[in-house]
Structure 1
Amino acid sequence: MKQTSTKLPISLALLTCIVCALGFGLIALWVSDHQVRHFDQKIITNIQQLESPAMTRLMKFFTMIGSGIPVVIIILIAMFVLHRVLGHRRELLFLAIAVLGSALLNAVLKWLFQRARPEINRIIEANGYSFPSGHSMTAFSMYAALTFLVWGHVPSRLGRILLIVLSSLLIIAIGTSRIYLGVHYPSDVVGGYFMSGCWMAACIWFYQRILASSLTQ
C-alpha cells in the first residue's frame, strides 16, 4: 500500500537535530558543573507541592505507561497496525530503531554522567543513574515516532492538531511524573527531551533520505 507523504523538510530535520544537540549539551554542562541546582530545586518544589493521594495515583499511572511492559505493548500494537492495517514494512524498522536506539543512547549517557538520583521526598524507588531521564527519552521517542508515522494518514487539520496535542501531553505528563515521584531532577527530564529530540530528528532525516532514494530508483 502506498503511504501518504509525511515528509519533513530535510533542512528542518537537520536544524532541529542541531538545536536539540546544543540544548542537551548546555544542560549537560550545567549538570556537570553543578550549576543547575537552583533550577532543579525550584521546579521540584512547585511540582511536589501538588502532592495528594489522587495526584500520586495519576503520576504513578503516567510513569507506568512510560516504562517496561506497557511500552512494549504500545509498540507491538503500533507495529501490528502499521503492518496489517496500513500495509507498511519500512515504517516498522523506523519505529524499532527510534525507540530501541533511544533506550541504548540513554543507557550510554547515564553511564557517562553517572548522576545520582534525588533523595528528598522520594515516593517510589528507582535504580540506576539519573541523567538523562530514561522515561522522558522513551516517551519522547515513541510518541514522536508514532506521530510522524500516523501524521500522513490523518486527513484533517483538526485531527493533526489533536494528534500533536495528545502526544505532547503524554510526553510532558510522563516526564513530570518522574519529578513528582522524586526519582528524577527536572534537568534530567529536560535533558532527556533534548536528546530524544536530537535523536528523532536524525532518524527522520535518514528515513527521508532512504525514502527519497528508493523513489528515484
Structure 2
Amino acid sequence: MRTQKVSPMPFFIVGILFLILFGIISWGVYFDSNWIRSFDLTWIDWIQGSISEGKTSFIMKITELGNMKLVIVLTIIIAIVLFIKRKFAEGLWFGGTILFCAAIGGKLLKKIFDRDRPTFLQLIEKTNESFPSGHATATTIFYGFIGVVLILTAVHIWKKVIIGFITLIWIGYILFTRIYLGVHFPTDVLAGFLYGTAAVFISIGVYLLVQQPLRHLLRKLNLVDKSDTFERAENY
C-alpha cells in the first residue's frame, strides 16, 4: 500500500488562523472595547437567564472535568501508558503540549491580562485571573488534542465526522458551564477555545517536523520508539 507523508503546513495554517482570532479577542479585552462588553453582556443574559437548582448541581459536577489539575493528572496517566507501549515520541509530544501550552502558557496569559472575573452572579467562588479561561484552555487542548488525533487515525469519513462532532459538543458544553456558573465572561472561554485550538494544530505541525529527528535522538539513547499515529493516518 502506498503511503503519503502528512504535511505539517495545513496544521500550521489552521493554527495561525485561530491564533489571529485569539489576538483579535485579546486586543478587545485588553483595551476594554465596547463590542467586547456588548458581546459579554448579551451572552451572560442569555445563558444565566435559565438558572435552576437541579441544573446548577449537575453543571457544578460536569465543569470539573475541565479542571486544569484533573487534566494534568489525566495527561500524566496517558503519557505513562504511551511510554509503557514504547511510544516515547508521542508521550513526550502529548505531555509537552499540555505542559507548555495549557499549564504554563495559559498561566502566563492570565498574568499578562489580569482581568477580573464577572461580578454579576457567581454560583461558585473563584478569585484568580479571568482571561483566558483556564478551564476552556485545558479542556480545548486536552480533549481537542485527543479528538484531532482520533480524526487523523480514523479511516472512514463518517467516523471522522462523528468524532469531530462529539469533541466539539463536549468542549462547547464545558465552556458553557463556566459562563453559566458566573465565573467567566463569554470572551474568556472563547479566547481559551481559540488559543487552545491554535495550540493543538500548531503542536501537531511541530511534531510532524521534529518526529524523525526525535526518533533518531531516542535511538541514540537506546530507546526503540513505536509511535505510529501518523503512519496509520497515511495508510488509507
Per the normalisation by structure 2, the TM-score is 0.80
8 A Cα contact 1:114 1:129, kept in partner: yes
Q: Deviations over 1:143-171 (max 9, x none)?
A: 12212333455444333322222221221
Are residues 151 and 120 of structure 1, via their aligned partners in 2, closer, same or farther at CA, if it must alter by over 3 Å?
same
Q: Which residue is 2:171 aligned to? A: 171
Q: Which amino acid is the alignment partner of residue 94 of structure 2?
A: L
1:135 deviation in Å? 0.4
Distance 1:156 1:46 in 2: 38
Distance 2:46 2:70 in 1: 29
Q: Which residue is 2:230 aligned to? A: none
Q: Deviations over 1:112-152 (max 9, x none)?
A: 11100001110001121100001000001101221233345
Asked which structure has the greater CA Rg, the reply is 2
Q: Which amino acid is the alignment partner of residue 17 of structure 1?
A: G
Give the paired residue count: 212
1:52 deviation in Å? 1.2
Q: Deviations over 1:30-72 (max 9, x none)?
A: 1122221110000011111121122212321221111155324
Are residues 215 and 80 of structure 1, via their aligned partners in 2, closer, same or farther at CA, if it must alter by over 3 Å?
closer
Q: How does 1:1-217 map to 2 (within 5 A)?
A: 7=6, 9-35=7-33, 36-84=36-84, 87-101=86-100, 102-213=102-213
Note the aligned Cα RMSD (angstroms). Answer: 2.5
8 A Cα contact 1:40 1:186, kept in partner: yes
Q: 2:50 is paired with a residue of what secondary structure?
A: coil
Q: Which amino acid is the alignment partner of residue 128 of structure 2?
A: G
Distance 1:215 1:84 in 2: 16
Q: Which of 165-174 and 109-118 deviates more?
A: 165-174
Q: 1:118 is paired with a residue of what secondary structure?
A: coil
Per the normalisation by structure 1, the TM-score is 0.87
Are residues 15 and 152 of structure 1, via their aligned partners in 2, closer, same or farther at CA, if it must alter by over 3 Å?
closer
1:187 deviation in Å? 0.4
Are residues 150 and 77 of structure 1, via their aligned partners in 2, closer, same or farther at CA, if it must alter by over 3 Å?
farther
1:190 deviation in Å? 0.8
Q: 1:117 is paired with a residue of what secondary structure?
A: coil
Are residues 80 and 170 of structure 1, via their aligned partners in 2, closer, same or farther at CA, if it must alter by over 3 Å?
farther
Distance 2:187 2:4 in 1: 36
Fraction of identical pairs, as percent: 25
8 A Cα contact 1:117 1:184, kept in partner: yes
